[in-house]
Amino acid sequence: MSTFKAPKGTYDLIPPYSAKYLAVRDAISAPLRKAGYGYIETPGFEDVNLFARGVGESTDIVTKEMFTLTTKGGTNLALRPEGTASVLRAALEASLHKKGNLPVKLWYSGSYYRYERPQAGRYRHFSQVGAEAIGAEDPALDAELIILADQAYRTLGLRDFRILLNSLGDKECRPVYREALQAFLRGLDLDEETVRRAEINPLRVLDDKRAEVQKQLVGAPMLRDYLCDACKAYHEEVRALITAAGVAFEDDEKLVRGLDYYTRTTFEFVHGGLGSQSAVGGGGRYDGLSEMIGGPALPSVGWALGVDRTVLALEAEGVELDIPAATSVFAVALGEAKPVLFGLVTELRKAGVAADISYGGKGLKGAMKDANRSGARFAVIAGDRDLAEGVVQLKDMESGEQSAVALAEVVEVLRAKLA
């Protein structure tokens, strides 16, 4: 056993369990790729001010959860706690908004870091797949992203999730609501930190999960009553497009999400099988974020879906993913047959067949145990006598049937059988 362990709140992905994570990432990204989203990858750390400005100084992410460090040159950096700010920064730096038709549609996958209190579904290192549509204000984009996420989850076999939807208004109508909400909050018995938060961004108080705070929020003014006509019309169009696509959702007037940059559309995917950490993903529109981080006005919308929590949701529903075996053919070499079968395995791999071979000079019994553990569909077995006759023994690992096949023909025979 190693002297060292994974840091608290993190985890290692080990085969075969790790195959679930790969399958979830592929399933989430597949609809995005088909909808014109290109892949983007950003550094695991950024200038700390990117998140302080973009995510928001009043958020728990910035005030409590960021992992920060100072380089030898004195630069303050943060491990990325979320993906949107980094992706938008990269798009602006590369001037993607100037190189073609808007919106710029991007998807990404990677690890993110927050100093959380570790518990099931909440880690200090976690994995997400995200999507951003940058540079266009169009209800169809908001609807498209929600529909694509719904499609990804249903492709995986998830059924017991719900989509919550709300509108947070814009720079025209939200200031009026902000004043009304702050006036209400000033009359409550709140702790010093929550009072400070209410002065910076009072909507964040609505997102407070503590029962003693939620109890006092009964009767708080609702944002829906303050939406301007333009925001109401925009939200109704998003709702109509989602409904027309056959995607069910629930209106949630208290849905705020935990980031300061959201405007208008905001949404969340929740699952009842995850306990207190019910959100498996979410997102929304962030029309002012580009300007917050020094760019031009670029209205945008996006989401991030948690790979970790999606896997937990699948397990809660008892969904078994159809994950192909890593190996289709397993070679067992006896006597002096190792060089020939090693060459055969190389040929099979070049022909697109997943193949492996027993290592370490094991006998027939030990090598066949390896073949069974690999999940291979076929085993190719050969010893000195077989090679002298120019054949190998081909064994069907499901039926147990075994037959001799000419060595020169085995690649084509296997390709045909596996097809």
**108 a known binding residue?**
no
Q: Which residues contact 113 (CB under 8 A, 6 or more apart)?
A: 44, 67, 79, 80, 81, 124, 125, 126
Distance CA 366, CA 369 (A): 5
Q: Which of 263, 236, 252, 258 is nearest to 174 (CA)?
A: 263
Buried b (16+ CB within 10 A) or exposed e, 330-350: bbbbbeebbebbeebbeebee
Q: Centre a 10 Å sphere on the Cβ of residue 292 and count the other Cβ atoms it contains.
A: 17
Beta strands in 286-344 (DSSP E): 300-306, 329-333
266 has binding-site annotation? no
**219 assigned binding-site residue:** no
Distance between CA atoms of 54 and 109, rounded to whole angstroms? 20
Q: Give the Cα separation of 167 and 249 in Å (integer).
A: 13
- The answer on whether 83 is annotated among ligand-binding residues is yes
**Is 174 flagged in the annotation as binding?**
no
179 belongs to an annotated ligand binding site: no
Is 132 annotated as belonging to a binding site? yes
Asked whether residue 82 is marked as a ligand-binding residue, the answer is yes
Work out the angle at residue 238's Cα, subtended by the Cα atoms of residues 234 and 240, and round it to the nearest 5 degrees.
115
Q: Which helix (H) or strand (E) holds 7?
A: none
Per the annotation, does 373 bind a ligand?
A: no
What's the angle, vertex CA 355, arms to CA 350 and CA 361, rounded to 5?
120
Please tell me whether residue 133 adopts helix, strand or coil conformation.
Answer: strand
Question: Residue 304 in 3-state DSSP?
Answer: strand
Both tokens of 153, joined, read: 């989850």
Cβ neighbors of 350 (< 8 A, separation 6 or more) are: none
The Cα 321–Cα 156 span in angstroms is 7
Residue positions forming the annotated binding site for L-histidine: 82-84, 114, 128, 132, 257, 261-262
Residue positions forming the annotated binding site: 82-84, 114, 128, 132, 257, 261-262
